[in-house]
Amino acid sequence: AMSGGRDGNPWFVIGRLRPTVTFEHAQQEMSAIARRLNESLPATERNRGLSVVPLSLYLVGPESRLALWTLSGAVFFVFLIAAANVISLSLARSVDRAREMAVRAALGASAGRIVRQLLTESVMLAVAAGLIGTLLAVAGIRLIRTFGPRTLAGLNEIALDLHVLGWALAISLTAGILVGLAPAMAMVQHNVRRSLEESGRSVSGGVATRRIRRAFVVAEFALAIVLLVGAGLLVRSWWHVTGIDPGFRPERVLVMELSTPTTFSAPAQRSGLYDRVLEQIQAVPGVETAGIIGDLFIENSSEQLITIERDDGTVSERLRLRRDEVSADFFKAAGTPLLQGRSFSVGDGPNAPPVAIVNEAMARRAWPGHDPVGRRFKFGPRDSDRAWFTVVGVVTDMRRQGPERETVPQMFVSIAQDSPRSVDILIRTSSDDPLAMAGALRAGVRRVERNAPIYGVAPLEQRFGTYLTERRFQTFLLTGFSIVALLMAAVGIYGLIQYSVAMRTQEIGVRLAIGAPAGDIFRMIIGEGLMLSLTGLALGLVGAWGL
């Protein structure tokens, strides 16, 4: 992408790098080209920049990329919890089968054969679980496609292919081997004679085995707490984002994109077309007001060298500036408050002195602590022959790329003084369903110019709500993973306590026979589970704090 230029709009070029060229090397070459280009340009135009960005990152966006990594981490945590749960249950089951394996060993079965049998059983269970998980994934993909946000990048491309199935099979086999290896080795090392002598007695395994089972249960609970805390923070962040003022009111507003035919080559022709289109749209019943902006949604800010007129003289500095062309009623249609000065008027025509409306960020940056209305600025250094813009008004900051995006200095110029070839039309209606008026609005535009392409017709609330919808969807997924993880950890604790009680039946019976109160036995059993839960909770909170 190339940034800079007289209009501040970037240019985009798609290319394929050679196999031996990295993005870092390509960026170095592009930076060198940009330097040579700036050296060949006049001083007022030496603000060109070239950046190399992977196409996948540009299409998905940095926010979606971060969300994908977050969800991938949640999936990995759930996988670890499931693996720890299965290992804990396998260790408990190995104690039950210790006598069986001891008999096999006494009858001549080698340790390797016993390990192979146990690993085979574990792998078979893992593959079966992988197949069930694949079927659940197919159902989950259908649900996501049905109920997921339509604007989610790559939503319709989500599918299971051979690559994904291969990874699922490899992970299932690896998990089966790793999960079955520890119980298999523990069982092989069990003393054969001791196992045979344990006929008729229940044992809970050695001290080391019990500690390992408890450690896995604690790890499950800790990972679940980390996920749950992360989901809670994401929910809080989402609620915070929904409370940020975007600087405009998207409800009951319809957006319509319009391009001028090639016959409208002169700016004056395009400006006249836009005036007639607005006149026809405002005549449609149910329309309160309508306004035009060059491009509402594309982020086209770039670093510019501007000269600012202040009380103590003029100063030239570089700042990241966004420039938009708007009609006189745009701010009224968008619901953006005019804080100082005036909006554009009929007098701000193509032959009138250039005027501009700036946002709060521009006012703070260019004229800190002073009233910007009546001040002047221009592009380029002090000695450039570029025209001066006079500030006639200040509007609140508009967060069009999302509530969390940092607002940049922004200037608005009259569309009568600078008419782009394509525009976005904002139509504020009296209807709660502005999309229902799309047909009448299209017809109004067609009456003015039937060859003007109309596209991208959608409620502004839907277009702006894209970011919030995606954030809500990500929060829902992470919360779902956290709940599943917590339930799995609870099942692990329940399984461990149940198995411990079953193995200690004889001990509990003896305690009751010698007069131990049933309440003490109950507190002993519950205390064991509570201790494991509190330990996992403490470790999980520490882990969440570290993240």
Encode pLDDT of 488-525 as tens digits.
888 877 777 777 776 677 777 888 888 888 888 888 87
Strands 302-310 and 313-326, by their bridges, are antiparallel
pLDDT at 200 over 50: no
pLDDT of 8 reads 47
**CA–centroid distance for 390 within its chain:** 40
pLDDT at 96: 67
| Alpha-carbon span 487 to 451, nearest angstrom | 60
Check whether 199 has a pLDDT greater than 50.
no
Q: Which of 508, 524, 498, 539 is nearest to 93 (CA)?
A: 498
Is residue 247's pLDDT more than 90?
no
> Span 302-324, mean pLDDT?
82
Report residue 48's pLDDT band, with 50, 70 and 90 as the boundaries.
low
Find out whether 281 and 444 touch, Cβ atoms under 8 Å. Answer: yes
* Candidate ranges 174-183, 391-400, 518-527, 538-547; pick with highest mean pLDDT: 391-400
Closest CA to 332 of 282, 390, 402: 282
Q: What is the pLDDT of residues 418-463, one digit of tens each?
A: 888 889 999 999 998 999 999 999 999 999 998 889 998 989 887 7
Share of the chain above pLDDT 70, in %: 84
- Asked if residues 377 and 391 have their Cβ atoms less than 8 Å apart, the reply is yes
Higher pLDDT, 261 or 106: 261
State the average pLDDT for the chain.
Answer: 81
Share of the chain above pLDDT 90, in %: 22
